[in-house]
Amino acid sequence: MSDVNKTWTSRRRQRGQAMVEYSMINWVLIVALIIASSVKMDWGGGQDKNVFDLFLEAYQIYYDSYYFVLNLPFP
């Protein structure tokens, strides 16, 4: 086998390995997202919410606090 063919084959293997690793990482992230979205959390308030609801509620409080500060009546 010539040197050109060896380089071509090794590059092809590296690309294939990178695609497999990328696919596995994406699969793990998607599965974690599905599990996290379906798990209900009980934070002692008597209301079960999943992780997405908790993040959206926290973001809404953060967003509302900016509006509160911007609308304060400064003399």
Q: Supply the pTM of this predicted model.
A: 0.42
Tell whether the torsion through CA atoms of 40, 44, 46 and 49 is positive or negative. negative
Alpha-carbon radius of gyration of the chain: 25
Pair (3, 30) in one structural domain: yes
Domain membership of residue 54 as a residue range: 40-75
Pair (29, 58) in one structural domain: no
Residue-level pLDDT, tens digit, the chain, 75 residues: 555 566 666 666 667 777 888 889 999 998 888 887 777 766 666 677 777 777 888 999 999 998 888 888 876
Count of structural domains, the chain: 2
For residue 63, give both structure tokens: 């967003």
Element (H, E) at 28: helix 3-38
Pair (26, 48) in one structural domain: no
